[in-house]
A and B are shown apart, each in its own frame.
Chain A
Amino acid sequence: MIRSNVLVCGGAGCLSSGCHAVQDALKQELTKRGLDKEINIVVTGCMGPCDLGPVILVHPDGTFYQRVTALDVPALVEEHFIKGRAYAKLLPKDEVSANLITTQRDFGFFAKQEKIVLANCGLIDAENIEEYIARDGYAALGTVLTTKKPADVIAEIKLSGLRGRGGAGFPTGVKWELLAKAPATPKFLICNADEGDPGAFMNRAVLEGDPHAVLEGMIIGGYATGASRGFIYIRAEYPLAIKRLQIAIDQAYQHGLLGKNLFETDFSFDIEMRIGAGAFVCGEETALMRSIEGRRGQPSPRPPFPAQRGLWGKPTNINNVETWATVPAIIRKGANWYNQFGTEKTKGTKVFALAGKIRNTGLVEVPYGTTLRQIIFGIGGGIPGGKKFKAVQTGGPSGGVIPAEHLDTPVEYESLQKLGSIMGSGGMVVMDEDSCMVDVARFFLEFCCDESCGKCPPCRVGTKQILNILERICAGEGQMEDLDKLEQLAAVVKDASLCGLGQTAPNPVQTTLRYFRAEYEAHIKEKRCPAKVCRGLLTYTIHYDNCVGCSICARNCPTNTILKVKGQKKYYIIEDDCIQCGACLDVCKFNAILKASDGVAHVVPPKPELEPVPGRKVMVTA
């Protein structure tokens, strides 16, 4: 009998931190000690705390180990599986009491979450359909096909209050009904897995950890709407998700859960994958459909909506990965069970990807209405290194920043919109006091400008003009009139762009202007960057009291602008030639390099007589 399951997280995060080596070492060690018949190793999808990887979870004890390396494995096996006690070295610690946490459910990161979409992620082997079936997988499909009418399914989804998880939050049941009522055939379903936001990875985790839930949701949707084929549009940057999804599709066909006459009824459904080349605009539904058709991914005006004329001119319904993955749980447990989670307007739970300056980087699932503070500080563990929280960017590059005073906002579509941001697909990039908000706006605008498909001028030209102004401000060459121009341009781009990319691209500029206008003004009026990020506004000087004359800064300076003070063991930076790369600051071990952004108030230290750096063969210009 198998007495214990060791779940090794095989999500992309843990893969890159080396879970394969841990898995091999475990297998070897268990075999060596003759435990391989009692203890089973299972590779699962993402468990969530990606920053702590590779992570493993041991059942039935529920012990969670973090940052496991192959070298730890022999000791871990000895302690946990032979002697029966938790291996203290790899246990997480409680942040307040500093006590070791021996079970997963006591770990704050997990304890405060509500997992519906991620229920199987990190618990089952994603490459084994039987484990999905063991967790009631495909039971919802069986019930729907054998006992329910399509209209009943739509009514159930409507009652559940499920809204599209792609960002716009359109009620899923209503969308399905539009497709069901469309007269033309054949009808198509699309799963949008083109997750392009920097810092967002919830769809990838679902596809890697529980691909069958997405398939089951789509088949149920096919039955409810009368569609006969489904496409999953996934980006090529997700090779592991593509691999596991293909395995899942193959297994579903082998088990008769895809294909003809499912559950001995007249209903047939096929699903295939289409791999996108990673253009951000292809997450927009009309562009996505063109890309599936094999054409250039560019949006087209709506109406006609996809439900009227979509893929190859036929009625089509597009939903996000997370929306599809939620459907089986709603059918299985009932709409009334589902709509008890969340808020008045937005029901259920949402998966968020925490990234940036946050302690527990990773995936969390919470009911709508949870406040930003609970997500970032309660589950995310707050900001590392004792730094202060500054803002959080929700909704990726199309979203906006939300400052500290709005941390107690409950997260739902409407509340975020009021603050000038969007829910988007659920990325949250946390920024601390070291982030410059002008630079953040510039970064996201650069992304949108790059990704603009170029079809409509407001987006193609407008984002470029906004970016130019932002770059100017970051370089210290901005004028106060630029702020008005930014506001005007942002409004025009938002109003006049053809698709969601352009309509949301100005959000980061508008929200940073709204909440952090003082930072813009500091860049323009005082020529300084308060967060000390914008290179053009920085100065580096050497603090003589701390400088011991080791010459490491001078030897690492790429432009040879650091020279020795004649006759002294001190060094000096020639500011006019400095490119503010920060290499000297990175290498100095004596805290002698001062990074400052004093702007107009900056005083250049008097230039002493200089001599070449000993042993460095360079031309000396000073």
Chain B
Amino acid sequence: MNLEELKKLKEKAQRQVALREGNKKYRVVVSMGTSGIAAGARDVMKTMLDEIEKRGLDDVEVRVTGEHGLEDVEPVIRIEEAGGEETTYARLDAEKAKKIVAEHLGKGKKVENLAVGKQKKTE
């Protein structure tokens, strides 16, 4: 093994442990309450996970949470950015989820027509 090979191996292996180190740029929080699940939140999440992997986006973590209080527009996800900005997307399906991964997480461009409201974190 030489330094170059070690570096390559490290880059490859880092994805396995990165989740344990925290501090990702994007955090996708999927609303997984009863109504979210009923409306297809699991499909949305699965699609997103596949899509994130396919595109090799490393700076993203996906979590699940309970209801956001937006039962009538489920499935809902919230994307939190390292800077503190949050965007909530509603009425999602697999296709829309793919688009959000490509645009928001891939290029850093919000998908305005799918977003609902807009909140700023206070801290």
Q: Check A139–B1 contact: CB distance below 8 A.
A: no
B30 at the interface (CB under 8 A from A): yes
A304 at the interface (CB under 8 A from B): no
Instruction: Report the count of interface residues on A (CB-CB < 8 A).
Output: 36
Q: Check A7–B20 contact: CB distance below 8 A.
A: yes
Q: Check B3–A131 contact: CB distance below 8 A.
A: no
Q: Mark A285-302, 1 if CB is under 8 A from B, else 0.
A: 000000000000000000
B112 at the interface (CB under 8 A from A): no
Q: Mark B1-29, 1 if CB is under 8 A from A, else 0.
A: 11100100110111011111010100100
Residues of A within 8 A of B37 (CB): 82
State A135–B13 Cα separation when bound (angstroms).
9
Chain A residue at minimal CB-CB distance from B54: A1
The answer to whether residues A3 and B49 also contact, given A84-B64, A130-B12 and a CB cut-off of 8 A, is: yes
- Contact partner of B19 among A4, A82, A124, A135, CB < 8 A? A4
Min CB distance B54 to A, Å, is 9
Q: Check B10–A134 contact: CB distance below 8 A.
A: yes
State A2–B49 Cα separation when bound (angstroms).
7
The answer to whether residues A38 and B17 also contact, given A84-B63, A85-B66 and a CB cut-off of 8 A, is: no
A533 at the interface (CB under 8 A from B): no
Q: Check B13–A133 contact: CB distance below 8 A.
A: yes
Query: Which A116-159 residues have a C-beta within 8 angstroms of B?
Result: 123-124, 130-131, 133-136, 138-139, 142, 146
Query: Which A1-47 residues have a C-beta within 8 angstroms of B?
Result: 1-5, 7, 37-38, 40
Min CB distance A65 to B, Å, is 15
State A274–B18 Cα separation when bound (angstroms).
35
Query: Which B26-56 residues have a C-beta within 8 angstroms of A?
Result: 27, 30-33, 37, 45-46, 49-50, 52-53
Q: Check A256–B63 contact: CB distance below 8 A.
A: no
The answer to whether residues A3 and B17 also contact, given A60-B24, A136-B10, A264-B2 and a CB cut-off of 8 A, is: no
Min CB distance A64 to B, Å, is 13
Chain B residue at minimal CB-CB distance from A138: B6
B74 at the interface (CB under 8 A from A): no
The 7 lowest CB-CB distance pairs between A and B, nearest first, are A84-B64, A1-B53, A134-B13, A130-B13, A256-B1, A3-B62, A1-B49
A-B contact pairs, 16 of them (CB 8 A): A1-B50, A3-B62, A38-B49, A59-B20, A59-B22, A60-B27, A82-B37, A82-B64, A83-B64, A83-B66, A84-B30, A85-B65, A123-B20, A130-B9, A131-B16, A134-B18
**What residues make up the interface of B, taking CB atoms closer than 8 Å to A?**
1-3, 6, 9-10, 12-14, 16-20, 22, 24, 27, 30-33, 37, 45-46, 49-50, 52-53, 61-66
